């Protein structure tokens, strides 16, 4: 599954698209001004030109073809002050937003992920947020993600590893000048790798527990969404469900709390809920981002894949929260996901031998039917969106 990425919103001025003939030559002429050792003001001007070029698709493609120039740009981005790293970093964000260019960036500098990581995890690096966004974009695709994971695991002795990354993510004040929100989507992408999930779910450590409060992080939906995506990916590991739902981690309240609103419950219902969801304030707000709400529901749905998991989710009053959410929800796809989850909770238990819904061997014809049903649902959703007159990008 593709993780969340960062768009081209950081581009500079547009309109510098040159004619195709001679464009390569013009771009190549920027190289001497970008290299380390060039005059600072010329470096800055060249970096601004490059940033402007990365604002359009053709400009990005053009730049990616210039290996030496890419290398110089990367060197500039990770160069310390007073080098004009900011524009170079932003240019890299735009380049990395295009998955087709990842292999060229990595070919220009195979050490790119480690060099970026070293800067991102430096608590004094002023452009760490931009470089974190580059890494988040790079890690959207499986191949660069695997490379980055390998580097992270290998980098553990330098303390540039996953532990440091999680610590920086859990500590918004880690870098005084850069909040590092994009570490959230970065970790979410990385958690598609089995090794990363194994680290996050290590019962001998305290990793996933430290991520949980960030589901309520109000200052950034990027950070929040990244953490929720990470947690959802962890929930695919059904062998860890007992631990995740047990007292050592207690994941469910942190998935339900963002879905809870200001509705009142009776005392009997209140006692059924986890303490985190009891006596919520009348001005309690639900998670405003529909995509995050959907991911939360998907994570809970994964936890209901096993019979013991279903019982634990049911016993902790999840139905009460989802019932109120369903009444409130206006986004069709979130509403449908919520309805499915409610059906799982209040429906009958599956037949013997099919208790673990993540391990059931589905016959081919049944799978085909399910796919057709899914397509029908998607069409209905699309129709509903068209009827609302609010198409989503």
Partner 1 sequence: MESSDPDPTDDSSMDAFLDKFQSQPYRGGFREDQWEEEFDKIPLFMKKAPSEIDPKEFPDLACLQSIIFDDERSPEEQAKTYKDEGNDYFKEKDYKKAVVSYSEGLKKKCADPDLNAILYTNRAAAQYYLGNFRSALNDVLAAKKLKPDHLKAIIRGALCHLELKHFAEAVNWCDEGLQIDAKEKKLLEMRAKADKLKRMEERDLRKAKLKEKKEQNQNEALLQAIKARNIRLVSESVGEDEDSASNGLAEMLLHGLSSENPCGARLSIDGQGRLSWPVLFLYPEYAQSDFISAFHEDTRFIDHLMAMFSEAPSWDSEHKYHPDDLEAGWLLASTSRMRTGQNYTRCPLRAPCCRCCSTPGAP
In whole angstroms, the minimum distance from the beta carbon of 276 to partner 1 comes to 5
Rg (CA), the chain: 24
In whole angstroms, the minimum distance from the beta carbon of 278 to partner 1 comes to 5
Tell me the number of residues near partner 1 by CB under 8 A: 19
CA distance 147 to 173: 28
Closest residue by Cα to residue 119 from 83, 95, 145, 146: 83
Quick check: 247 binds partner 1 (CB under 8 A)? yes
C-alpha 169: how far from chain center: 12
Site for partner 1 in 217-246 (CB under 8 A): none
Quick check: 248 binds partner 1 (CB under 8 A)? yes
Task: Give the one residue of 236, 278, 326, 350 binding partner 1; rule: CB under 8 A.
Answer: 278
Closest residue by Cα to residue 302 from 318, 317, 288, 287: 318
Closest residue by Cα to residue 14 from 45, 58, 46: 58
In whole angstroms, the minimum distance from the beta carbon of 94 to partner 1 comes to 35
Judge whether 52 and 37 are in contact, CB under 8 Å: no
Q: Which stretch binds partner 1 (CB under 8 A): 53-61, 99-107, 177-185, 204-212?
A: 204-212
Q: In this structure, what token pair is assigned to residue 359?
A: 């391990």
Q: Considering beta carbons, is residue 204 or 268 the nearer one to partner 1?
A: 204
Task: Give the one residue of 19, 22, 37, 204 binding partner 1; rule: CB under 8 A.
Answer: 204
Q: Which stretch binds partner 1 (CB under 8 A): 4-12, 87-95, 205-213, 361-369?
A: 205-213
Quick check: 280 binds partner 1 (CB under 8 A)? yes
Counting every residue written for the chain, the total comes to 393
Site for partner 1 in 49-78 (CB under 8 A): none
Going 211 to 327 to 268 to 318, the CA torsion angle's sign is negative
Quick check: 281 binds partner 1 (CB under 8 A)? yes
Quick check: 250 binds partner 1 (CB under 8 A)? yes
Q: Which stretch binds partner 1 (CB under 8 A): 40-48, 163-171, 317-325, 371-379?
A: 163-171
Going 88 to 89 to 92 to 93, the CA torsion angle's sign is negative
CA distance 240 to 167: 22
Quick check: 206 binds partner 1 (CB under 8 A)? yes
CA distance 260 to 257: 5
Contact residues: partner 1, CB under 8 A: 163, 167, 170, 204-206, 209-210, 247-248, 250, 253, 275-276, 278-282
């Amino acid at each position: 599954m593709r993780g969340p990425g960062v768009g081209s919103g950081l581009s500079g001025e547009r309109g510098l698209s040159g004619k195709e003939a001679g464009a390569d030559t013009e771009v190549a002429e920027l190289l001497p001004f970008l290299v380390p050792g060039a005059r600072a003001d010329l470096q800055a001007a060249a970096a601004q030109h490059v940033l402007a070029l990365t604002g359009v698709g053709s400009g990005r493609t053009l730049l990616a073809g210039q290996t030496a120039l890419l290398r110089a740009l990367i060197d500039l981005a990770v160069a310390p002050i007073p080098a004009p790293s900011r524009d170079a970093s932003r240019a890299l964000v735009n380049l990395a937003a295009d998955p087709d260019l990842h292999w060229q960036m990595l070919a220009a500098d195979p050490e790119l992920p480690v060099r970026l990581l070293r800067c991102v995890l430096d608590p004094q690096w002023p452009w760490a947020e931009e470089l974190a966004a580059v890494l988040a974009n790079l890690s959207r695709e499986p191949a660069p993600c695997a490379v980055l994971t390998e580097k992270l695991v290998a980098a553990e002795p330098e303390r540039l590893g996953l532990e440091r990354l999680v610590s920086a993510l859990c500590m918004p004040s880690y870098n005084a000048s850069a909040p590092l929100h994009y570490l959230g989507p970065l970790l979410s992408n990385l958690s598609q790798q089995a090794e990363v999930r194994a680290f996050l779910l290590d019962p001998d450590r305290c990793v996933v527990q430290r991520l949980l409060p960030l589901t309520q992080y109000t200052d950034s939906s990027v950070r929040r969404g990244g953490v929720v995506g990470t947690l959802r990916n962890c929930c695919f590991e059904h062998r860890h469900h007992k631990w995740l739902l047990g007292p050592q981690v207690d994941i469910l309240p942190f998935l339900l709390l963002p879905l809870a609103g200001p509705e009142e419950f009776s005392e009997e219902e209140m006692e059924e809920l986890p303490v985190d969801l009891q006596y919520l304030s009348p001005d309690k707000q639900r998670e405003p981002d529909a995509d995050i709400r959907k991911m939360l529901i998907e994570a809970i749905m994964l936890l209901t894949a096993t019979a013991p998991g279903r019982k634990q989710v049911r016993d902790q009053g999840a139905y009460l929260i989802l019932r109120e959410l369903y009444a409130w929800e206006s986004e069709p796809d979130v509403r449908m996901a919520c309805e499915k989850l409610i059906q799982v909770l209040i429906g009958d238990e599956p037949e013997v031998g099919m208790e673990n819904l993540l391990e059931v061997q589905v016959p081919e014809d049944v799978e085909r039917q399910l796919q057709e049903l899914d397509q029908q649902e998607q069409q209905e959703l699309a129709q509903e969106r068209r009827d609302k007159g609010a198409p989503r990008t």
